[in-house]
């Protein structure tokens, strides 16, 4: 049963207050906390590690809101706090178990990607969201970047015709060090599900296509001290319109690079081509009539956490609906399966 929000107010005016808890500190929780001050109806009340000895000290010195209470075990926290919103940003293999437990309790869930490590977990998440009628929001944030958002609008307007070829890349710096559990494939999962899922999602979304089958390669070749993490990968997919997509993933971006990540994307259509380049700062559009190296970018009139709050309050929707987040997760899992088995995997 869904937890009922708290009501408060004067003179007959009642506002809802939503208790929010955070579990883990391995994901992009800043996507939530950076906007939290704009939504006083959401109260960050408590936090807990996603696994024993996880460092969650970052929450102890929170300054934008009242200092939340720390718990040592997340299930005990859910029992005691009875939150309305659970933010799952822990070690990657914990995202699904935490979300499944929260959904069973009727909580709204905000979860880091990947949503799950197995297809069985994805199926369970889908069913629980449907059964309980709650919001499941993924921290897949890149649809909100102006270059990707504008590209989606241009394709929808028919500017490049029918998209038939997608070429994307996701390259990250390795950084000073990665967690010890990157050495454990069971905990880390796959670079397909942690890194590739972004471009799998926005590539399909911008081109407005579906993947029908996937083949892939991946390996740990450079950062051998963390063998559970594949630092190079290539993914090839067939599209439902007969076209294809190819994505390159790596943890080989040099330290001196201006940005942590690089996410170029090229979508070729029957009437033109668009390319997102310069670390997503520029959109190059070429059609039969014009060549625009710097197409004006449109800022989305919405934000990730703002959409989450609006969806919970029943006055808006998510730019990445739960079903699409689960579909991207399924594709990423099957891409990893294809790389592990050397076989083409159908969707």
Residue 285 CB partners (closer than 8 Å, separation 6+): 154, 159, 160, 272, 273, 274, 275, 291, 292, 295
Q: Which of 53, 86, 67, 256 is nearest to 174 (CA)?
A: 256
User: Are the C-beta atoms of 228 and 208 separated by less than 8 Å?
Assistant: no
Residue partners of 121: CB distance under 8 A and separation at least 6: 96, 97, 100, 115
- Check residue 177 and give its pLDDT: 84
CATH of domain 142-300+330-346: 3.30.360.10
Rounded to whole angstroms, the maximal C-alpha distance in the chain is 66
CA distance 331 to 226: 24
Q: What is the pLDDT of residues 210-235, one digit of tens each?
A: 999 999 999 999 999 999 999 999 99
Write out residues in the chain with pLDDT < 70, as ranges: 1-15, 62-65
Half-sphere exposure of 316 (CA within 13 A, CB side): 17
User: What is the model's pLDDT at position 67?
Assistant: 84
Q: Where are the domains of the chain?
A: 6-139, 142-300+330-346
- Say how far apart CA 35 and CA 20 lie, in whole Å: 13
| CATH 3.40.50.720 corresponds to the domain 6-139 | yes
- Residue 10's pLDDT is what? 45
Contact by Cβ (8 Å): 98, 50: yes
How far apart, in whole angstroms, are the C-alpha atoms of residue 255 and residue 250?
A: 13
> In 163-256, which residue ranges form alpha helices assigned H by DSSP?
185-188, 191, 197-207
pTM of structure: 0.94
């Amino acid at each position: 049963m869904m937890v009922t929000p708290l009501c408060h107010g004067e003179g007959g005016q009642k506002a809802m207050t939503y208790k929010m808890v955070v579990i883990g500190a391995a994901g992009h929780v800043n996507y939530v906390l950076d906007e939290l001050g704009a939504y006083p109806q959401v109260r960050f009340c408590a936090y807990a590690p996603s696994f024993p000895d996880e460092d969650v000290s970052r929450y102890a010195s929170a300054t934008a809101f009242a200092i939340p209470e720390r718990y040592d075990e997340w299930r005990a926290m859910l029992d005691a706090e009875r939150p309305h919103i659970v933010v799952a940003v822990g070690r990657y293999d914990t995202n699904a178990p935490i979300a499944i437990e929260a959904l069973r309790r009727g909580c709204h869930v905000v979860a880091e990607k990947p949503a799950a490590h197995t297809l069985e977990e994805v199926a369970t998440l889908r069913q629980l969201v449907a059964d309980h009628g709650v919001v499941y929001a993924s921290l897949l944030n890149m649809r909100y970047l102006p270059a990707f958002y504008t590209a989606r609008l241009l394709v929808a307007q028919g500017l490049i015709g029918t998209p038939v070829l997608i070429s994307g890349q996701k390259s990250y710096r390795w950084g000073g060090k990665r967690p010890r559990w990157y050495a454990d494939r069971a905990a880390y999962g796959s670079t397909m599900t942690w890194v590739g899922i972004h471009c799998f999602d926005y590539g399909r979304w911008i081109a407005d296509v579906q993947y029908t089958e996937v083949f892939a390669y991946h390996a740990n070749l450079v950062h051998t001290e963390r063998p559970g993490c594949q630092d190079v990968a290539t993914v090839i997919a067939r599209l439902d319109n007969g076209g294809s997509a190819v994505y390159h993933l790596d943890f080989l971006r040099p330290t001196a690079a201006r940005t942590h990540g690089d996410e170029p994307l090229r979508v070729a259509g029957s009437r033109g081509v668009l390319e997102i380049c310069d670390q997503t700062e520029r959109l190059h559009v070429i059609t039969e009539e014009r060549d625009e190296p710097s197409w004006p970018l449109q800022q989305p009139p919405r934000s990730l956490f703002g959409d989450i709050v609006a969806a919970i309050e029943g006055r808006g929707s998510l730019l990445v609906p739960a079903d699409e987040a689960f579909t991207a997760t399924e594709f990423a899992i099957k891409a990893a399966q294809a790389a592990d088995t050397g076989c083409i995997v159908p969707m």
